[in-house]
Amino acid sequence: MDNIISGGAGDGSQLITREGLEKLKKELDYLKNTRRHEIAERIERAKELGDLSENAEYSEAKDEQAFNEGRVLEIEEVLKKLTVVENKSKGETIGLGSKVSVEYNGKQKEFSLVSFNEVDLEQNKISNESPLGQALIGKKAGDEVTVLTPSGQVKYKIVKVE
């Protein structure tokens, strides 16, 4: 098999690349160790302004604190369910974490295949669960796939897999 799954796989686990896992851990660290302190300082400054019942700065800081803590809890829950997938195909077979070059409609496009929670279209990271992602999994350079899009069928030729 081309994809090596390592980590705490269990029922309900979600796949993620090592890069995606590190990004989530980095965000969690920032939220817990930097953002929490920044918000706490804002709350303290707002308290110094007096009456909290009519203090917009205090209210906004408390809302920001609630949002931050909610995101911390969300990431901690997601981290418990993740299974790291490392693509060991050596550029042969497309799997999670592969970088793929394709040709379609006379154009060439390069992107990375990632889990749904790593998608970043600006950085050309598409989900393995997207129609194109599903069509590409297990394919090799030289293969062609056809994907049904809202504007009709699109044929993709796989040029390169890394």
> Which of 121, 154, 161, 155 is CA-nearest to residue 137?
161
Quote the pLDDT of residue 122.
95
Which value, to the nearest 10 degrees, does the dihedral of the CA atoms of residues 106, 146, 122, 85 take? Answer: -130
Once rounded to an integer, what is the mean pLDDT over residues 17-37? 95
Question: What does the pLDDT read at residue 50?
Answer: 80
* Second-level CATH architecture of 3-83: Orthogonal Bundle (1.10)
- In this prediction, residue 54 carries a pLDDT of 80
Tell me the pLDDT band of 141, cut-offs 50, 70 and 90.
very high
Q: Considering only CA atoms, which of 20, 119, 133, 130 is closest in space to residue 78? A: 20
Q: Which residues contact 105 (CB under 8 A, 6 or more apart)?
A: 154
Pair 127, 115: CB distance under 8 Å:
yes
- The residue whose two tokens read 């390592």 is 6
* Amino acid 8: pLDDT: 36
Q: What is the mean pLDDT of residues 28-50?
A: 94
Task: Kindly tell me if the per-residue pLDDT of 153 is higher than 80.
Answer: yes
pLDDT band at 74 (very low <50, low <70, confident <90, very high): very high
Whether residue 99 has pLDDT greater than 90: yes
CATH number of 91-161: 3.10.50.30
The residue type of 160 is: K
Q: What is the pTM of this model?
A: 0.69
| H/E element, 85 | strand 82-87
3-state secondary structure of 7: coil
Rounded Cα distance between 21 and 43, Å, is 31
pLDDT in tens, 102-126: 999 999 999 999 998 899 999 999 9
Please give the mean pLDDT across all residues of the chain: 88
CA separation for the pair 108, 156 (Å, rounded): 10
User: How many Cβ atoms sit within 10 Å of the Cβ of residue 121?
Assistant: 8
Task: Give the mean pLDDT of 14-32.
Answer: 93
What pLDDT, on the 0 to 100 scale, is given for residue 9?
39
